[in-house]
Structure 1
Amino acid sequence: MLKMGLIGVGHLGKIHLKCIRLARAHYDLIGFYDTDEANALAVAKEYKLERYETAEALIAAADVVDVVTPTPSHYKMVKLALNGGCHVFVEKPLTETLDEARELIDLATKTGKTVQVGHVERFNPALLSLGDLKVKPYFIEAHRLAMFNPRGVDVSVVLDLMIHDLDIILKLADDEVTDVRASGVAVVSDKPDIVNARIEFKNGAVANLTASRISLKNMRKVRLFQPDAYISLDLLEKESQIVRLYNPDATDIPEQGQQFPLDTPKGQRIIHVDQPDSGPINAIQMELESLAESIVNDRPAAVSIEDGYKALELAHRISEAVAANAGKLPPEK
């Protein structure tokens, strides 16, 4: 069993605390470190968990640390953990800057420690329900809308929300990004709160993403269009729908799902609609358990530090495009 230390017990950190305890077959949660004195005392009392006075002391006692602190401190905490001989789980985004991320990649390689980045949507039941389905989208559309919450405004909506979908599309498109165009607006903070981005890949695939943290409702949807299928993922409701066309005489039409005839200019086809069910999943618990399995079995993390870097790099390209486009807007009258 791995000794786990938790760094950061704010809103999300408390959720991680509970999930680490649910993953008791993999981890022994030995304690936590938090810079907020009042919060640390309250957590120690409520959860009956040892509080460490410094991050270094916690790292020295642990095999693995879970970094759930504000983004600006990720680099410092992950670096401390790696130099202290610990494997690391770090919430997304990996770091604030690309230079910091590259340094951590080199340090992880040097120390031989596993780093997993908390792109939790990889473990969303809607995405997992696709199973072994061959996904090769030509067009991807993603909307991630959230009602305003003061937490997270230390970074733009790109690093706060859109980065989830950036990780997903990079995984699904599985190709080099050739062009990025984006625009955004800062409404209630001093950083962009609404951003739309168009991303083109080397193979011709295109992704159109919108992220907003000042919406009147919450939405997390991804739609994939490819020649043989339309795939809809509702990451908020944790549901998926797969629509495919078959010839009437096809022998590989799945038994599961519904079928409807459709007259087309090319003759009659069969529409097959499937809504696969992957069952209830605690995504944070699952991603933490996957890290333990990677460490014990000496295999790559499900969301590697390199994956975290790629999503961060694309997020920065989008942010740069937003800034460049803002410079082209006419001045306010």
Structure 2
Amino acid sequence: MAEHLRGGVIGAGVFGGYHAAQYARLPGVVLSAVLDPHPDRAARVAVPLGGRAFHELAEFLDAVDVVTIASPATRHAEQALAAIAAGKSVYIEKPIAVSVADGEKIRAAAQARGVVVACGHQERVVFRAMGLLDVPQQPLLLEALRHGPASERSQDVSAILDLMVHDLDLALALSAGEPVTAEGEGRRGPRGAWDTARAEVSFDNGFTAIFETSRVAPERRRTMRVVYPSGEVEIDFVTRAFRNTTPFALNPDFADTPAAADPLGASVEGFLQAVRGEAPRPVVTAQEAIAALDLALAIEQALEDQGPRG
């Protein structure tokens, strides 16, 4: 393997710019290329960081060793499969795809080619820094709220696939059980996609998770409450503070750790370590991302079943 991996980013929007900056700053990798249908936009991201702009996928893939896919979610599967077919490991922003079938195609193709697939559920990094993933007790209840103001970003998918999917992944990471039922209600936006939603998911071990999401809220709010038999943990993801009444020692200074201060950087670095063989897996694997997607789509179906709301 080359001394420095050549990193490439598909998508020159806001998140593409964030990923390009990570490849430009992390050790052992350089930003080589940015692909976007608009060459001028790709150049604005790539050139200041030492990379080149591309608008043809085949030429872009020839110029890189690893690929981040930060394009609209509806393009994730086709672009990931093309990169994997070219022998490139891929980091895919969430959701991994917009159908479970496409997610499984990505996972199977990567396994066949022996390349790494990571997915950008970066809140896992924050949970790890807090110590929540090491709590030796199963939760009884989780309540998650994730609100954001209106934005033009990610309008190709619903708020469930855009925002709620983060909390779905965290619930799945905390619980050893499997989701068995999902109920929900929501409201559609002017483009027909679900902009607000509330869902309740029951797991086969008795765990219940309640999720509330809005991408048309007046302000940004991201909170979570996790109830255990021995106490509870309340988290504010915006202020990076928590209250813990359990007997388990969580890190009160987690927000000051390098990983929690830059979850995206820690997630991308974990991906690169897995590519180099320095870590057994990325922060979030393809299989875990597919599980979060599957639950998100089940919630979307539950919203469909409860009838249209404008």
Q: TM-score, normalised by structure 1?
A: 0.85
Give runs of ≥4 in structure 1 deviating > 6 Å: none
Q: In the aligned structure 1, how far is the partner of 2:8 from the partner of 2:40? A: 19
Q: In the aligned structure 2, how far is the partner of 1:282 from the partner of 1:26? A: 18
RMSD of aligned alpha carbons: 1.9
What are the ranges of 5 or more consecutive residues in structure 2 without an aligned counterpart? Answer: none
Q: In the aligned structure 1, how far is the partner of 2:305 from the partner of 2:212? A: 18
What aligned pairs does 1:1-333 form with structure 2 within 5 A after superposition?
Answer: 1-23=4-26, 25-124=27-126, 128-130=129-131, 132-244=134-246, 276-278=252-254, 279-280=256-257, 281-297=261-277, 299-326=280-307
Matched residues, percent identical?
Answer: 25
Q: In the aligned structure 1, how far is the partner of 2:166 from the partner of 2:227? A: 19
Deviation per CA, 1:280-330: give whole Å up to 9, x if none.
Answer: 421111101001111222622220000110000000000000000116x8x
Q: CA deviation at 1:127?
A: 5.0
Q: CA deviation at 1:240?
A: 2.4
Check 1:71–1:42 CA distance in 2 against 1; reply closer, same or farther (3 A cut): same
Higher helix share: 2
- Name the count of aligned residue pairs: 301
Check 1:275–1:100 CA distance in 2 against 1; reply closer, same or farther (3 A cut): closer
Flag the structure with larger Rg. 1
Q: Equivalent residue for 1:261? A: none
Q: In the aligned structure 2, how far is the partner of 1:244 from the partner of 1:109? A: 40
Judge conservation of contact 1:130–1:276 (CA < 8 Å) in 2: no
Q: In the aligned structure 1, how far is the partner of 2:89 from the partner of 2:251? A: 37
Q: In the aligned structure 2, how far is the partner of 1:215 from the partner of 1:55? A: 37
Q: Structure 1 counterpart of 2:75, which letter?
A: S
What are the ranges of 5 or more consecutive residues in structure 1 without an aligned counterpart? Answer: 246-252, 255-273
Deviation per CA, 1:72-121: give whole Å up to 9, x if none.
Answer: 11011100110000001010000111211111111111111110000111
Q: In the aligned structure 1, how far is the partner of 2:14 from the partner of 2:52? A: 18
Q: In the aligned structure 1, how far is the partner of 2:214 from the partner of 2:181? A: 22
Judge conservation of contact 1:229–1:242 (CA < 8 Å) in 2: yes
Deviation per CA, 1:246-291: give whole Å up to 9, x if none.
Answer: xxxxxxx97xxxxxxxxxxxxxxxxxxx761121421111101001
Q: In the aligned structure 1, how far is the partner of 2:227 from the partner of 2:296? A: 23
Judge conservation of contact 2:179–2:204 (CA < 8 Å) in 1: yes
Judge conservation of contact 2:228–2:246 (CA < 8 Å) in 1: no
Check 1:34–1:188 CA distance in 2 against 1; reply closer, same or farther (3 A cut): same
